[in-house]
Amino acid sequence: MSGTVAMHSVFVYGSLMADDVVRLLLNRVPPTSPAILPDFHRFSIRGRVYPAILPAPADKVSGKVLFGITDDELYILDEFEDIEYERENVNVFLTDSSEKLETKAYIWANKDDPDLYGTWDFEEWKQVHMEGFLKMTTEFAQEMKFPESSET
């Protein structure tokens, strides 16, 4: 008999705002809601096509919340975000209801990274980098290794 499955919500603000990327990773597109993360800034990163967020008073990051993320899916997202990000709990505001929600988000681990600059733009990313990013994500998903299950 299996235990209860924890469901998580995750605020996404970069490549994971693209349904095609999420579908490649999770084999589905979970329910979403547009959201704002207050007091953070979304940076571009030199040499990378994805963004980083760090705390920044009086700024905000628009993105969306993925709802109903299972423990296994959270593991996939953790692996995808790699060690450069730390998963933390944050408070966001859902833009369609103004509801405040505690959710998980991936925060850039190196708070003093000299490669962070400017503001990352999702629309520009979709036009310039999404096709190549989808190829990379497909390769990642095919190579994804899951921890051994404790169930028999």
Parallel, antiparallel, or unpaired: how do β-strands 32-45 and 52-69 relate?
A: antiparallel
Q: What is the pLDDT of residues 88-117, one digit of tens each?
A: 999 999 998 889 999 999 999 999 999 999
Q: In the chain, what are the domain boundaries?
A: 8-143
Which of 65, 64, 61, 55 has the alpha carbon at shortest distance from 119? 61
Helix (H, G, I), strand (E, B) or coil at 99: coil
Separation of alpha carbons 124 and 128, rounded Å:
6
Compute CA distances 143 → 12, 51, 74, 85, whole Å: 23, 23, 17, 20
Cα-flanking dihedrals φ and ψ of residue 67, to 5°? -105, 155
Task: Catalogue the active-site residues.
Answer: 81
| C-beta of residue 92 within 8 angstroms of C-beta of residue 65 | yes
Separation of alpha carbons 25 and 73, rounded Å:
8
Separation of alpha carbons 11 and 35, rounded Å:
8
**pLDDT for res 146:** 66
Average pLDDT over the chain reads: 92
**pLDDT for res 150:** 44
Separation of alpha carbons 125 and 146, rounded Å:
29
Average pLDDT over every residue of 9-30: 96
* Class in CATH terms, 8-143: alpha beta
